[in-house]
Amino acid sequence: MSKDIKAIEDEIERLMTVATKMTTSYEIIPSSKLSKSKIEEALVKLEDYRGRLTNQILSCLEYRTRCLAKLEQIEPKSLQKVLRYYYFQDFTLEKTAELLDRSYQWTYEMFLSALDKYCEIS
């Protein structure tokens, strides 16, 4: 899903660049229907992409909220921490082990155990 969001963000940036360049050159040259329609077309596309991006972000936030609610049900809390560090803070298992002051092997085993418990929760 993040690839889709990145693609939409890139397209918004491209359209903003086009619209900005058109607006600047539009003010310099005499008015014409062609340049005005290109600007309007770029702005319509831009608004469409903004709407799509907003919907993607809201969808991701809803999914994240559901995942966090599920995560809160895992016991013991140390298992929650392992998944939270790995999935929500983008730490490696090595960094997670360091933060928890545990060995990599312990962290890896807790990670697998936490995933099992997470999958059991409906």
Instruction: Indicate whether 65 and 93 sit together in one domain.
Output: no
Are residues 13 and 34 both part of a single domain?
yes
Q: Is 90 exceeded by the pLDDT of residue 71? A: yes
User: What is the band of 1 on the pLDDT scale with cuts at 50, 70, 90?
Assistant: low
Same domain? For 17 and 34 the reply is: yes
Counting the structural domains of the chain, the total is 2
Q: What is the CATH number of the domain that holds 40?
A: 1.20.58
pTM strictly above 0.75: no
pLDDT of residue 25: 47
Q: How far apart are the C-alpha atoms of 72 and 83, rounded to whole Å?
A: 11
**Residues 6+ away with beta carbon under 8 Å from 91:** 85, 99
Task: Classify 74 in phi/psi space as left (phi over 0), alpha (psi -120 to 50) or beta.
Answer: beta
Residue 13 has pLDDT above 80, yes or no: no
Kindly state whether residues 62 and 81 are assigned to the same domain.
no
pLDDT confidence bin for 117, thresholds 50/70/90: very high
On whether both 97 and 84 belong to a single domain, the answer is yes
Averaged pLDDT of the chain:
83
Residue 82 structural domain: 72-120
Which residue has tokens 């809201």?
Answer: 58
